């Protein structure tokens, strides 16, 4: 397995896989596959993929430790960056399609809806992580400081989950948030247990 | 289910109707699940026949009406109404039915009748959504008697010239076009005239968010979101369609504004 993970083509394949959900959404948007309320469907799908990306990012290290596939480590940053891209698309789709980039309406909405505030905070917290995702940034910061900064992911996961939970709480429709809570909780506990 | 063009003022909206496919696949009908795609998928288990509606309470002639009797009670009219959901989306729907007032007159309300309470079917065998505790079943809604008697208040049996699909509230539902969609109770089994203002299911669940009146009002926000604009379902520009400004009383102010003269709409939301 490690041989495959270290193959030169593994990175492009991983990027391709990470891009697939976005490609399928573009396809759906172009060919009417987003249903009666395409804006709502797009915003929600991008949010779902952001959460899945967070879970995947958090899963890499426990999975590596569990299986001994050390080659997994080289994809951790790619998955993290892809998650940031989905989060940015998710927030931008909301700001554009729902709020039409009207700053006053945006600020009012963020103030009015706690789940929007929490989601926006989670996205903002991803910014420093994305900004330091380059090799040069790791060298410049030093490994320890870089790792400490990127531990922010352990907070962003639960905050993003709270955003989703709150959004669904209006209709008491909490099955999916509960599943994500189990996954994210489990992945964070795996670290704790290991340490 | 054919209907003749309605002569009621405001009943024939001159706007592009929402596609039948969208009207019948994007529904809030929690008895069949809370996701808007649920009812179209799961409402097949509803049996709209045989069906009766009990009309009682403060009336001189309380009685149970059979569906076939209701279908012939008054001439069917086609009415094209805006529908504005409290969640911030809207449609334009050609309904088929007749004014609720026709039925209410038949049962002769007494002087004590001040409000009308509507009760939806709540049968676990037919409605999988009842397992969820999101609302206290059965679903109940209410109107003031003068609102219920208003000619625009429709008892609908069909849409797009066809019998109501199950997910849209078969076999008969209320349509009150100037109020948020949830006021228009679906699959009605009981209509009761009462003296005291009834408690609706949504008022009971979240009184600070859903009031008895729930008139469409762009100036009074929902506590959790703005009501100033709405997204019209199925617009040609698709994803990039601009939202529309929401109209006072959903655009029916000329017809119904006088019902609320002197009422503080901020307090009575």
Structural domain for A44, as ranges: 2-194
Residues in A closer than 8 angstroms to B133, CB to CB, are 172
- Compute the mean pLDDT over every residue in chain B, rounded to the nearest whole number: 96
Read off the pLDDT band of A195 (50, 70, 90): low
Give the residue on B whose Cα is nearest the Cα of A29. Answer: B239
Burial, A63: exposed, middle or buried (Cβ in 10 Å; 0-12, 13-18, 19+)? middle
Read off the pLDDT band of A194 (50, 70, 90): low
pLDDT over 70 percentage in chain B: 100
Vertex B167 angle, CA B166 and B168, to 5°:
90
* Number of C-beta neighbours around residue B101 at 10 A: 17
Please indicate if any CB of chain B lies within 8 Å of the CB of A32. Answer: yes
Which residues of A, range 58-77, sit inside 8 Å of B by Cβ? none
Burial, A156: exposed, middle or buried (Cβ in 10 Å; 0-12, 13-18, 19+)? buried
Please indicate if any CB of chain B lies within 8 Å of the CB of A135. Answer: no
Q: Dump pLDDT digits (tens) for B51-80.
A: 999 999 999 999 999 999 999 999 999 999
Distance between CA A83 and CA B91 in Å, rounded?
A: 35
* Number of C-beta neighbours around residue B220 at 10 A: 16
* Number of C-beta neighbours around residue B208 at 10 A: 8
Q: Dump pLDDT digits (tens) for B224-249.
A: 889 999 999 999 888 889 999 999 99
Nearest C-alpha of chain B: how many angstroms from A112?
6
Closest CA to A167 of A157, A158, A177: A177
Q: Dump pLDDT digits (tens) for B70-117.
A: 999 999 999 999 999 999 999 999 999 999 999 999 999 999 999 999
Question: Cβ contact (<8 Å) for B89 and A29?
Answer: no
Total domain count, chain A: 1
Read off the pLDDT band of A171 (50, 70, 90): confident
Question: Cβ contact (<8 Å) for A112 and B226?
Answer: yes
Question: Cβ contact (<8 Å) for A173 and B133?
Answer: no
Distance between CA B155 and CA B185 in Å, rounded?
A: 10
Residue holding tokens 């959460």? A51
Q: Dump pLDDT digits (tens) for A3-53.
A: 899 999 999 999 999 999 999 999 999 988 899 999 999 999 999 999 999
Nearest C-alpha of chain A: how many angstroms from B215?
20
Closest CA to A114 of B86, B225, B230, B206: B225
Question: Cβ contact (<8 Å) for A172 and B234?
Answer: no
Question: Cβ contact (<8 Å) for B233 and A97?
Answer: no
Give the residue on A whose Cα is nearest the Cα of B30. Answer: A171
pLDDT at B58: 98
Cβ–Cβ under 8 Å, residues B158 and B77? no
Distance between CA B209 and CA B176 in Å, rounded?
A: 19
Residues in A closer than 8 angstroms to B226, CB to CB, are 105, 108-109, 112
pLDDT at A32: 82
Distance between CA B240 and CA B234 in Å, rounded?
A: 11
Nearest C-alpha of chain B: how many angstroms from A108?
9
The complex scores an ipTM of 0.86
Whole-structure pTM over 0.95, yes or no? no
Cβ–Cβ under 8 Å, residues B115 and B142? yes
Choose the closest CB to B243 out of A42, A100, A112: A100
Distances (CA, A) of A188 to A33, A71, B18: 36, 21, 47
Question: Cβ contact (<8 Å) for A100 and B221?
Answer: no
Distance between CA B132 and CA B141 in Å, rounded?
A: 19
Is residue A182 classed as helix, strand or coil in its secondary structure?
Answer: helix
């Amino acid at each position: 397995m490690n041989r495959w993970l270290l193959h030169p083509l593994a990175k492009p394949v991983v990027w391709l896989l990470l891009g697939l959900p976005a490609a399928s959404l573009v396809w759906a948007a172009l060919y009417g596959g987003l249903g009666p309320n395409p804006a709502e469907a797009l915003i929600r799908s991008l949010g779902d993929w952001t959460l899945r990306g967070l879970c995947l990012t958090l899963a890499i290290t426990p999975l590596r430790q569990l299986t001994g596939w050390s080659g997994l480590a080289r994809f951790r940053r790619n998955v993290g960056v892809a998650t940031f891209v989905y989060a940015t698309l998710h927030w931008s789709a909301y700001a554009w399609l729902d709020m039409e980039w009207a700053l006053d309406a945006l600020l009012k909405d963020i103030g009015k809806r706690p789940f929007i505030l929490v989601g926006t905070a989670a996205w903002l917290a991803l910014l420093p992580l994305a900004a330091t995702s380059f090799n040069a940034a790791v060298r410049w910061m030093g490994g320890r400081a870089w790792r400490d900064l990127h531990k922010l992911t352990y907070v962003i996961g639960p905050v993003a989950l709270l955003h989703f939970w709150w959004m669904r709480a209006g209709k008491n429709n909490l099955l999916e948030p509960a599943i994500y809570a189990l996954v994210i909780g489990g992945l964070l506990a795996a670290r704790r247990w290991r340490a | 289910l054919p209907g003749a063009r309605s002569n009621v003022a405001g009943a024939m909206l001159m706007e592009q109707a929402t596609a039948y496919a969208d009207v019948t696949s994007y529904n809030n009908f929690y008895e069949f699940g809370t996701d808007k795609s649920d009812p179209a998928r799961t409402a097949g288990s509803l049996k709209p026949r045989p069906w009766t509606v009990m009309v009682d309470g403060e009336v001189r002639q309380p009685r149970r009406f059979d569906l076939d009797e209701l279908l012939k009670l008054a001439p069917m009219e086609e009415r094209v109404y805006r529908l504005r959901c409290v969640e911030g989306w809207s449609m334009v729907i050609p309904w088929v039915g007749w004014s609720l007032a026709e039925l209410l007159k038949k049962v002769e309300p007494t002087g004590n009748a001040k409000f009308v309470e509507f009760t939806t079917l709540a049968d676990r065998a037919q409605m999988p959504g009842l397992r969820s505790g999101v609302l206290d079943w059965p679903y109940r809604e209410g109107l003031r008697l003068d609102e219920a008697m208003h000619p625009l208040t429709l008892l609908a049996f069909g849409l797009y010239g066809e019998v109501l699909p199950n997910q849209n509230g078969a076999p008969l539902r209320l349509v009150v076009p100037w109020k948020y969609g949830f006021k228009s109770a679906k699959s009605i089994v009981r209509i009761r005239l009462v003296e005291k203002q009834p408690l609706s299911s949504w008022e009971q669940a979240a009184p600070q968010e859903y009031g008895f009146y729930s008139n469409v009002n762009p100036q009074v926000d929902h506590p959790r979101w703005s009501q100033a604009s709405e997204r019209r379902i199925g617009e040609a520009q698709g994803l990039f369609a601009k939202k529309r400004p929401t109209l006072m009383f959903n655009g029916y102010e000329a017809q119904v504004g006088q019902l609320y003269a002197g009422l503080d709409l901020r307090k009575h939301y």
